């Protein structure tokens, strides 16, 4: 059988091994890319369409396990083959847990390599064919951009905007509901742009205690406050030259907002306890699921900072507004977690697809991803309706629905939203556009 000509990326710090693999695979009618380090491999992955990864484990600097983890996160559809001259049970288990599909110990014969490569290609085709039980669930490479999966008009426009801003340092504000992929967009802007080799520092402002936020962001000098036993730079200094991503920027206290405004205006950072400013050259991307415009009107967010941040505005669409992408996302998650949970040939029934398409997904893509993981874990060879979380099942379109009062329907919807956001009442209230007090009253009635 003539092997299909696929693009294979080979990663090994041994030049002789690289050449050996290259010649062997070329003779089998494959096209190969060669990299002698993980850093070089990542650059190739960003710029080229790769169908299969073959990597060594033991390499100086960043090792093969880290590369596998990177590919699993950013290119989940690429199958991976590990080769190593230091075979052991522990390394094999670690490689498989990190996302490798197969494992080959050096030295190996040409036939063993050929068989391992063909098995991976066959496995990839089986996954695609099995998911094609739902006719439109087919993997199309141009429907994924830096981890952003979709073919809807909203995603096409989103990717177009990312491409327009990725190569400059314009300040960007990303707005969207929780779970819509705001950090994914920020990472795409950074890693697809000309500053991709520079640092990307992600900061969740909502997770930092208010009394520590200034020191964490801007750093401090020795003796600036009790416990400041040494001078330490903050996240802004760490991101110098690259990108800092400030998630949940709406939670930043006013004193931090004032310092942040200075960074944007003067392109400099002043550490706590110091009078000397440090110049920084970086791109600031902020994100929020709050209405910063409304917050600036009521005084809880500085109006001048809002306009400074909102040079380029990007909105991440909620999943309920792009349901055409659900089947494609299912393909991605079934492949990713099917491999992770050792069920690479998992399929999904038509009835389950109907249930998932009917749901409004208040938790957005994050909710869908969590649901797919759970269904894979609970299922056997095929995901059936019995594997679907209970809150997604009702009312079933093929069952007669019992007539209920408006009050009961409202309460059922509130409970469904709470389940989708792991009982986070603040987030549920935001989705339902009511305050927490009203939410509590509706649940108690």
Is 153-315 a CATH 3.40.50.300 domain?
Answer: yes
CATH number of 137-145+320-395: 1.10.8.60
Domain residue ranges of the chain, discontinuous segments joined by +: 7-131, 137-145+320-395, 153-315, 402-445
The answer to whether the 7-131 and 153-315 domains have the same CATH topology is: yes
Query: What's the N-to-C CA distance of the chain in angstroms?
Result: 68
Beta carbons of 121 and 127 less than 8 angstroms apart: no
pLDDT in tens, the chain (445 residues): 344 578 899 998 888 888 888 888 888 888 888 888 888 888 888 877 788 889 887 787 787 888 888 887 777 778 888 887 655 545 555 555 555 567 777 778 888 888 888 888 776 665 554 444 433 343 333 478 888 999 888 998 999 999 999 999 999 999 999 999 999 999 999 999 999 889 999 999 988 888 888 888 988 888 878 777 888 888 999 999 999 999 999 999 998 999 999 999 888 988 888 888 889 899 999 999 988 989 999 999 999 999 999 999 999 999 999 998 999 999 899 988 998 889 988 999 999 999 999 898 989 999 999 999 999 999 988 999 999 998 887 654 333 444 566 677 777 778 877 777 767 888 788 777 787 778 887 877 6
**Contacts of 71 by beta carbon, 8 Å cutoff, 6+ apart:** 45, 53, 78, 80, 99
Note the pLDDT of residue 76: 73
CATH number of 402-445: 1.10.10.60
Note the pLDDT of residue 402: 47
Compute, in degrees rounded to 10, the torsion defined by CA atoms 340, 342, 345, 349: -80
Q: Specify the CATH class of 7-131 in words.
A: alpha beta
Burial call 334-366: b when 16+ CB within 10 Å, e when fewer = bbbbbbbeebbebbbbeebbebbeebebbbbbb
């Amino acid at each position: 059988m003539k092997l299909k000509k696929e693009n294979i990326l080979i990663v090994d710090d041994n030049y002789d091994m690289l050449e050996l693999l290259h010649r062997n695979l070329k003779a089998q009618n494959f096209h190969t890319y060669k990299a002698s380090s993980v850093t070089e491999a990542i650059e190739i992955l960003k710029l080229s369409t790769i169908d299969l990864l073959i990597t060594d484990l033991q390499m100086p600097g960043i090792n093969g396990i880290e590369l596998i983890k990177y590919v699993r996160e950013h290119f989940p559809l690429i199958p991976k083959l590990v080769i190593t001259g230091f075979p052991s049970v522990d390394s094999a288990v670690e490689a498989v847990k990190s996302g490798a599909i197969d494992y080959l110990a050096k030295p190996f014969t040409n036939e063993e390599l050929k068989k391992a490569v063909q098995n991976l290609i066959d496995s990839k085709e089986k996954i695609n064919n099995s998911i094609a039980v739902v006719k439109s669930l087919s993997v199309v490479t141009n429907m994924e951009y830096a981890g952003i999966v979709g073919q809807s008009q909203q995603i096409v426009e989103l990717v177009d905007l990312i491409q327009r801003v990725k190569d400059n340092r314009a300040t960007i504000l990303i707005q969207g509901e929780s779970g819509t992929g705001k950090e994914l967009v920020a990472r795409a802007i950074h890693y697809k742009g000309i500053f991709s080799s520079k640092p990307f520092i992600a900061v969740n402002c909502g997770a930092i205690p208010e009394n520590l936020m200034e020191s964490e962001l801007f750093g401090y000098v020795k003796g600036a406050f009790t416990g400041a036993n040494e001078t330490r730079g903050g996240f802004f200094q760490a991101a110098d030259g690259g990108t800092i991503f400030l998630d949940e920027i709406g939670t930043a206290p006013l004193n931090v907002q004032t310092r942040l405004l200075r960074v944007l205006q003067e392109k400099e950072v002043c550490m706590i306890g110091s009078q000397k400013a440090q110049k920084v050259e970086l791109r600031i991307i902020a994100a929020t699921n709050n209405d910063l415009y409304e917050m600036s009107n009521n005084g809880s967010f500085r109006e001048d900072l809002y306009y400074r941040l909102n040079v380029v505005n990007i909105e991440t669409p909620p999943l309920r507004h792009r349901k055409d992408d659900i089947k494609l996302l299912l393909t991605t998650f079934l492949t990713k977690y099917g491999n992770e949970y050792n069920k690479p040939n998992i399929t999904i029934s038509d009835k389950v697809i109907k249930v998932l398409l009917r749901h409004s997904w208040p938790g957005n893509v994050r909710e869908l991803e969590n649901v797919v993981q759970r269904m894979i874990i609970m299922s056997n060879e095929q995901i059936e309706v019995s594997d679907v979380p209970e809150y997604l099942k009702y009312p079933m379109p093929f069952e007669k629905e019992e007539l209920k009062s408006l009050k009961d329907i409202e309460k059922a919807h509130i409970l469904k939203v709470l389940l989708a956001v792991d009982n986070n009442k603040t987030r549920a209230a935001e989705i339902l556009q009511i305050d927490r007090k009203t939410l509590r009253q509706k649940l108690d009635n």
